Structure 1
Amino acid sequence: MKKKNLPFMASFLVVCLILIGCGTEENNVTLDKGRITLQVATTSKSTSIVNGRVTNVNKLSFTKGKIKFREVVFDGDLGGRSISITHEQIAVIDYATGTISPSVFLEVDPGEYKNVNLGIEIQDDGSDPSIVIEGTYISSDEKTIPVRFEFNSGEVFEADAESVKITAGSNIVGKITFDALEWFSVISAEALDNATLTNGVMIISETSNSGIFDQVADRLDVATQAVFM
């Protein structure tokens, strides 16, 4: 598994920078700058796990958790110049709601940026996992098993886009979608049925059910694009 500079995962799916207007309110960006505010959407629906056929059991769902990060970076080419803006701030994403606490934003010079990159560096807290996602799995014998996915590394997740136009005084939303079900889409029902339980919980980490963990972690290598609207 890669330990740094991972492209942003497919399970993180899409980064959308959406123009939502401008103004002169106290909390708005300085008038000669543009603001990028980070937002998050999460997926908490359930899905059937395919093991040769789709069944009414083998349902996997994720409903809560946290993602802790320490840095957001915006890179792009502006008029032939390479621009890089780094914002260091420890913040936590609530997987259940998508809420980021505290709020995170970057102020950037106006202009039309090419070859844009938006990166997020996950906080490395030593033995404390920086990503924890929890849910349930309904096994083939119809037992409901708590599931806990733990990921602990100072990874840099990145998403790219061809261009984005930022105007002075505007508010731009950088929206990231986290989809834990997509991370687990390569895992069979048989693998989950045979997973080791710790005090009744299916913990998936580097040290517990590591075979499943490695497959899920490899999903982080799938690049995605940023979409600007």
Structure 2
Amino acid sequence: MKNYLFSYGSVILAAGLFLTSCTKDNSTGDGKLAYKVKPSNFTASIGPTTSGSGLIIAVNSNSSLTWTSGNVNVSEIDFEAESKSAKIEYELKQAFNVDLFNLSPVLGSISLPDATYEEVELKLVLRKSANSNIPLTLKGLYTDGSGNKIPVEFYFNEDFEAEVEAENLVVSGTNDYIGLINIQLNKFLTNVVSADLSGAVKSNGVIVISSTSNAELYAKLKANLNVFADCDFED
């Protein structure tokens, strides 16, 4: 299995929504594949060194950050599956506002011909926005080493393509499959240390992290967008 990000998160389309096909193999078979997001590890440690950061830790622990809400605005969803005899491509170009903390998000549902697909890829395309619907927003609460709690807000407003890939998916018309995009939110704080947050500039008591506010901390979180998700399949 190859792991990429995610992304982030939980793209909610109406259950049973089918992605528009731009090319489709004519083989028989009606195996159904639905993608869902499975967020986990909402609280991460924030240590004095990187080796102590990004670890799973109890909510409200000292030296931790807990994500409590978040949204992503997806501009396009692309799906590809390739077997030895065919390549399946689906594309959906439509804007969706997504609650990342929905516990049962559905990306969509795709019917695939029976085959063993050596490569399966799902891509979420995020576009920079000139209005309030920016690609990604996360909010949470940082608890420092003394137990003081400080609100944290992360705003990402850049073009970005979030990919999740997997290998060797066997599709049979007798089974339905769930592709779980596992979002491990603790890994989003990898390489972030306590000095980053204690030294961060605050706006009305809030640590705002964006391309124009606490830019060095923003760069660390942005780098983690590629490493905090993977994908597996269940039937």
Structure 2 residue corresponding to 1:35, chosen from 24, 32, 36: 32
- Percent identity among equivalent residues? 20
Say whether 1:9 aligns with 2:14. no
Taking a change above 3 Å as real, the CA distance of residues 63 and 10 of structure 1, as seen in their structure-2 partners, is same
TM-score (normalizing by structure 2):
0.74
Equivalent residue number for residue 47 of structure 2: 50
Shift of 1:180: 3.0
Distance (whole Å) between structure 2 residues aligned to residue 133 and residue 108 of structure 1: 34
Equivalent residue number for residue 207 of structure 1: 212
Taking a change above 3 Å as real, the CA distance of residues 93 and 100 of structure 1, as seen in their structure-2 partners, is farther
Q: Encode CA deviations 1:29-61: one digit per residue, 9 max, x unaligned.
A: 8x9433322211223532321105969622210
Shift of 1:68: 2.0
Equivalent residue number for residue 135 of structure 1: 140
Structure 2 residue corresponding to 1:192, chosen from 193, 197, 205: 197
Taking a change above 3 Å as real, the CA distance of residues 49 and 221 of structure 1, as seen in their structure-2 partners, is same
Say whether 1:122 aligns with 2:119. no
- Relative to structure 2, which stretch is displaced further, 151-160 or 164-173? 164-173
Structure 2 residue corresponding to 1:69, chosen from 67, 71, 74: 74
Q: Encode CA deviations 1:54-102: one digit per residue, 9 max, x unaligned.
A: 696222100111122132222232233333222334333322224447x
Tell me if structure 1 keeps the 8 A contact 2:82–2:118. yes
Taking a change above 3 Å as real, the CA distance of residues 28 and 48 of structure 1, as seen in their structure-2 partners, is closer
Q: Return 5+ residue gaps in structure 2 as ranges.
A: 10-15, 19-27, 54-60
Distance (whole Å) between structure 1 residues aligned to residue 141 and residue 35 of structure 2: 29
Distance (whole Å) between structure 2 residues aligned to residue 178 and residue 223 of structure 1: 6
Structure 2 residue corresponding to 1:110, chosen from 108, 114, 129: 114
Equivalent residue number for residue 144 of structure 1: 149
Taking a change above 3 Å as real, the CA distance of residues 112 and 74 of structure 1, as seen in their structure-2 partners, is same
Distance (whole Å) between structure 1 residues aligned to residue 77 and residue 178 of structure 2: 13
| Higher RCO (CA-CA < 8 Å; seq separation 6+) | 1
Structure 1 residue corresponding to 2:172, chosen from 157, 167, 170: 167
- Relative to structure 2, which stretch is displaced further, 128-137 or 150-159? 150-159
Tell me if structure 1 keeps the 8 A contact 2:126–2:158. yes
Tell me if structure 2 keeps the 8 A contact 1:70–1:90. yes
Tell me if structure 1 keeps the 8 A contact 2:123–2:162. yes
What amino acid is the match of 2:115?
G
Distance (whole Å) between structure 2 residues aligned to residue 108 and residue 87 of structure 1: 16
What amino acid is the match of 1:110?
D
Distance (whole Å) between structure 1 residues aligned to residue 98 and residue 178 of structure 2: 16
TM-score (normalizing by structure 1):
0.76
Tell me if structure 1 keeps the 8 A contact 2:76–2:95. yes
Taking a change above 3 Å as real, the CA distance of residues 38 and 91 of structure 1, as seen in their structure-2 partners, is farther
Shift of 1:225: 5.2
Which secondary structure does the structure 1 equivalent of 2:176 belong to?
strand
Which secondary structure does the structure 2 equivalent of 1:125 belong to?
coil
What amino acid is the match of 1:9?
L
What amino acid is the match of 1:88?
K
Tell me if structure 2 keeps the 8 A contact 1:130–1:152. yes
CA RMSD of aligned residues (A): 3.1
